[in-house]
Chains A and B, each alone.
Chain A
Amino acid sequence: MSEHVILVAGPMGAGKTTAIRAVSETPVVSTEAVNTDRATSDKDTTTVALDYGEIRIDDEERIRLYGLPGQRRFEFMWRILVDRAIGMILLLDNSRPDPLADLAEYLEAFDGFLQRGSLVVGVTRHDHAGTPQLGEHIAVVAQRLPGRSVPVLPLDPRDSAETRLALMSLIATIEMEAMLSTTRSTP
């Protein structure tokens, strides 16, 4: 069985669970609990362990999608999965107080992974909160990952077509970076 692990990361409330549900072919396994951190995100529940979904390519190959818990106190869960991952979709809620700081924080937290793995950044609620603009997100990524062309896309995680497009962009980036990139090691 060939398996490809994709991580879906981002702050609490960015839409990770929703995005996985939008593309998974199997019922998504979620581990949620009552949200006790209303100051960070005004939602009733939040993921405390993992969300899991998958896409079966055929009987021998599948894409495993893992949604990482957004709260930093569950950071140890990130490390468990990151070694097996080939790529990451990082979701950012543009309506939060400082999305660019969120972006910088996650790029730093996953710096080791991002030296070998590929990344797509999905900016959620971009229609509701026009600022910061996509160009500002792109500038943060360019500063942290110089020489890389990372897809930074407005994304509605409820829209399966948009979310699939983000996933396809990630897969294409993984393959083209492995085939063409002269600045990074082959994953």
Chain B
Amino acid sequence: MAIHSVRRMPSPVLLRLDIVGFGPITIDPRSGTYLGVEVAALPAMPDALSIETHPAPAAPAETGSGNALDGLLWFIGTHAFGSERATWLWPGDRYRLVRWPRLVAIPDAHDEVPVLAALGAAALNAAELAEAADITPERAQRTINALSLMGLLESESAAPPPTPRPPTAATGGLFGRLRKRLGWG
């Protein structure tokens, strides 16, 4: 929740997370980077965590220094709320992907590609996303939580429900066949 709020603050701030037993992480939202503990070393549910904000220096970190923030926010977003809706999301809203994340920063990105593509094609809620991408509703909600934390979704309160068309005869299921052919599942 704190990260979500800080990313929307008008004045630039750095966010420092201290994860007891693991060390600090400093997030610079302006450059989309963070410094500190690698994502792979983070616990899914830390025992204790403190969060501080600091005024950001005048110049953001140069591109290329620090780790890509997408990977960290994906990790936090998919774990922080379990399979429940993130606290800033409203029931009944549908969400559409306005920008794809850096796929190389997401573990098992090939698993997430059809989920991202579904959210890019239509505004969906978690149940609709689960059906379109053939995943569980819990995973759909975690994905929406993460992408929202990353600032990649826009909510559409009044969006109508999608009316899925059957897959076209020409390409229907090509993604799954290609994925199998490439040995990705």
Chain A positions near chain B (C-beta within 8 angstroms): 2, 4, 55-58, 61, 63, 86, 127, 130-131, 133-135, 138, 142, 148-154, 162, 164-165, 167-169, 171-182, 186-187
Contact A169 B117, beta carbon cutoff 8 Å: yes
Tell me the bound Cα distance from A148 to B120 in angstroms. 7
- The residue from B99, B103, B122, B184 contacting A169, defined by CB atoms under 8 A apart: B103
- Cβ–Cβ < 8 Å partners of A176 in chain B: 114, 117-118, 120-122, 132
Tell me the bound Cα distance from A171 to B114 in angstroms. 9
- Cβ–Cβ < 8 Å partners of A86 in chain B: 170-171
A131 CB to closest chain B CB (Å) equals 7
- Cβ–Cβ < 8 Å partners of A2 in chain B: 170
Contact A149 B170, beta carbon cutoff 8 Å: no
Contacts A165-B113, A180-B118, A182-B162: A175 and B99 contacting too (C-beta < 8 A)?
no
* B109 contacts chain A at the CB level, 8 A cutoff: yes
Contact B102 A153, beta carbon cutoff 8 Å: yes
Contacts A149-B99, A180-B162, A182-B162: A174 and B120 contacting too (C-beta < 8 A)?
no
- Cβ–Cβ < 8 Å partners of A173 in chain B: 117, 120-121
* B182 contacts chain A at the CB level, 8 A cutoff: yes
Contact B113 A180, beta carbon cutoff 8 Å: no
Name the interface size band of chain B.
Answer: 35 or more
- The residue from B99, B102, B116, B122 contacting A180, defined by CB atoms under 8 A apart: B122
Contact A172 B181, beta carbon cutoff 8 Å: no
- The residue from B97, B168, B182 contacting A178, defined by CB atoms under 8 A apart: B168
A84 CB to closest chain B CB (Å) equals 11
With A57-B181, A149-B99, A178-B165 known, 10 other A-B pairs at CB within 8 A are: A150-B120, A153-B100, A168-B178, A169-B103, A169-B113, A171-B175, A173-B120, A175-B114, A180-B132, A182-B162
Contact A179 B178, beta carbon cutoff 8 Å: no
Chain B positions near chain A (C-beta within 8 angstroms): 62-64, 96-100, 102-104, 109-110, 113-114, 116-122, 124, 132, 162-168, 170-175, 177-179, 181-182, 184
Contact B63 A130, beta carbon cutoff 8 Å: yes
B176 CB to closest chain A CB (Å) equals 9
B151 CB to closest chain A CB (Å) equals 11
Q: Which 6 residue pairs spanning A and B have beta carbons closest together?
A: A149-B120, A130-B63, A172-B117, A180-B122, A176-B117, A176-B121
B133 CB to closest chain A CB (Å) equals 8
Contacts A149-B97, A165-B103: A172 and B165 contacting too (C-beta < 8 A)?
no
Contact A179 B121, beta carbon cutoff 8 Å: yes
- The residue from B99, B117, B178, B182 contacting A138, defined by CB atoms under 8 A apart: B99
Give 28 CB contacts A-B under 8 Å: A57-B174, A134-B102, A149-B97, A149-B98, A150-B120, A151-B100, A165-B104, A165-B113, A169-B100, A171-B171, A172-B114, A173-B120, A173-B121, A175-B114, A175-B117, A175-B173, A175-B174, A176-B118, A176-B122, A176-B132, A177-B120, A177-B121, A178-B167, A178-B168, A178-B171, A179-B121, A179-B167, A180-B124
